[in-house]
Amino acid sequence: MNSWLRRRPSPSRPPAAPAAQMAWPGLRPSILQLIGCLLGLSTAGAAQAASWTLSVQNASGQPLGDVAMAVEVKGQTGRAGAGSVAQMEQRQRQFQPFVLVVQTGTAVSFPNFDTVRHHVYSFSAAKKFDLKLYTGTPTDPVLFDKPGVATLGCNIHDEMSAHIVIVDTPFFGKSNAQGQLRLELPPGEHVLKVWHPRLGSPLLSSFPLRLVPGQEPAPLQLPLR
Ligand SMILES: [Cu+2]
């Protein structure tokens, strides 16, 4: 279904091996680490975060925007720090943005910039809440403390709809109109979670994501038109 799993072939690249040990078989690892540090190439440095472009396409290979994307990096999952906030606005009887991605533990406020009143609610398992008819900004933001997807509506305006995607990782975002999201990530084997309203699922879909230095990952293809 997707080409994410497949690495681009790199026939000229020899299999990964501890290069330093091959070059100097007689040296102990601690000495190699010391040399590495002196050269500014410590083991930690080799795994440092780099900038990657994650791309997502529909079934015909066209870019897909508004895809919520979250990368789970082993040992780096969990809630956002205290004081993390985000905003879901109402303007011209629409929610803005249509898809908002936040980390668990984020407090979201729902300011109403219209002159009409809105009554914002979610019946979703990820977060049930109800902000009764209001103008301006309700005093208390809503805390999104469980991963999942909360679909929002307004009791007064049926055409108003939006989604808040809650993820357990600090590495997240949303694809732009070019179907791309740029993220700072360490290389390695991670899990990519994605969600799009037209996938029709209240859950995020998971895909393995292998980030190899010097290679952009192949586009992820979703079964959407
Ligand atoms: Cu409304």
Task: Give me the residue spans of the domains in the chain.
Answer: 19-48, 51-222
pLDDT one-digit tens code per residue, 140-164: 999 999 999 999 999 999 999 999 9
From the CA of 196, how far away is ligand 1's center (Å)? Answer: 23
From the CA of 167, how far away is ligand 1's center (Å)? Answer: 26
From the CA of 126, how far away is ligand 1's center (Å)? Answer: 21
Q: Work out the number of other CB atoms within 10 angstroms of the CB of residue 162.
A: 22
CATH number of 51-222: 2.60.40.420
Q: Given this model, what pLDDT does residue 213 score?
A: 93
Q: How far is the C-alpha of 30 from the C-alpha of 166, rounded, in Å?
A: 43
From the CA of 166, how far away is ligand 1's center (Å)? Answer: 23
From the CA of 68, how far away is ligand 1's center (Å)? Answer: 24
**Kind plus residue range of the DSSP H or E element containing 38:** helix 29-38
- pLDDT band of residue 47 (cuts 50, 70, 90) is low
Q: Given this model, what pLDDT does residue 138 score?
A: 86
Q: Given this model, what pLDDT does residue 90 score?
A: 97
Note whether 3 and 223 are within 8 A (CB).
Answer: no
Report the pLDDT averaged over residues 169-176: 98
From the CA of 113, how far away is ligand 1's center (Å)? Answer: 11
From the CA of 66, how far away is ligand 1's center (Å)? Answer: 22
From the CA of 141, how far away is ligand 1's center (Å)? Answer: 17
From the CA of 91, how far away is ligand 1's center (Å)? Answer: 9
Question: Is the predicted pLDDT of residue 1 greater than 80, yes or no?
Answer: no
Report the pLDDT averaged over residues 39-48: 49
From the CA of 123, how far away is ligand 1's center (Å)? Answer: 16
Question: Is the predicted pLDDT of residue 131 greater than 80, yes or no?
Answer: yes
Q: How far is the C-alpha of 162 from the C-alpha of 159, rounded, in Å?
A: 10
Q: Report residue 108 as tokens.
A: 């979201």
From the CA of 128, how far away is ligand 1's center (Å)? Answer: 17
> Strand 172-174 relative to strand 106-109: parallel, antiparallel, unpaired?
unpaired
Q: Given this model, what pLDDT does residue 24 score?
A: 35
- Burial profile 172-189: b = 16 or more Cβ within 10 angstroms, e = fewer: bbbbeeebbbebebbbee
Question: Is the predicted pLDDT of residue 29 greater than 50, yes or no?
Answer: no
**DSSP track, 157-214:** -TT-EEEEEEESSS-EEE--TTSEEEEEE-SEEEEEEEE-GGG--SS-EEEEEEE-TT
From the CA of 197, how far away is ligand 1's center (Å)? Answer: 20
Q: Given this model, what pLDDT does residue 48 score?
A: 83
From the CA of 172, how far away is ligand 1's center (Å)? Answer: 28
From the CA of 147, how far away is ligand 1's center (Å)? Answer: 26
From the CA of 157, how far away is ligand 1's center (Å)? Answer: 4
pLDDT one-digit tens code per residue, 66-119: 999 999 999 999 999 999 999 999 999 999 999 999 999 999 999 999 999 999
DSSP state of 33: H
From the CA of 116, how far away is ligand 1's center (Å)? Answer: 7
Tell me the residue type at 89: E
Q: 48, 127, 118: which is closest to 86 by C-alpha?
A: 127
